[in-house]
């Protein structure tokens, strides 16, 4: 066999192996019965306007904390209502 044919055969086998592995992992993930619930659903985000978060927002602009924190808090209040 020529070197190019051997290289093409090896490349095809490697591609087939990686593709099969992807399908096996995807199938296992689809059939997994013990999955965890989605953590970014809107129903589970009840503590978004907590004092801790407001404090963190006020620390984003330490040079003008009073003005920026009140603007940020007003935007958060408007967004999450």
Q: Is residue 44 domain-resident?
A: no
> What is the span of the domain harbouring residue 76?
49-81
Q: Is residue 78 domain-resident?
A: yes
Q: Is residue 55 domain-resident?
A: yes
Which segments in the chain show pLDDT lower than 70?
1, 37-54, 58, 61-81
Residues 6 or more apart whose CB falls under 8 angstroms from that of 2 comprise none
pLDDT at 23: 96
Question: In this structure, are 2 and 26 located in the same domain?
Answer: yes
pLDDT at 64: 52
Question: In this structure, are 28 and 55 located in the same domain?
Answer: no
Tell me the pLDDT tens digit for each residue of 28-46.
Answer: 988 888 877 666 655 555 5
The one-character DSSP state at 43 is G
pLDDT at 33: 82
pLDDT at 50: 63
Q: Is residue 40 domain-resident?
A: no
């Amino acid at each position: 066999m020529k070197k190019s044919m051997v290289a093409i055969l090896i490349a095809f086998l490697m591609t087939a192996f990686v593709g099969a592995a992807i399908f096996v992992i995807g199938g296992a993930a689809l059939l997994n019965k013990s999955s965890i619930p989605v953590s970014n659903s809107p129903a589970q985000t009840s503590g978004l306007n907590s004092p801790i978060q407001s404090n963190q927002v006020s620390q984003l602009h330490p040079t003008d904390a009073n003005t920026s924190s009140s603007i940020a808090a007003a935007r958060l209040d408007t967004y999450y209502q």
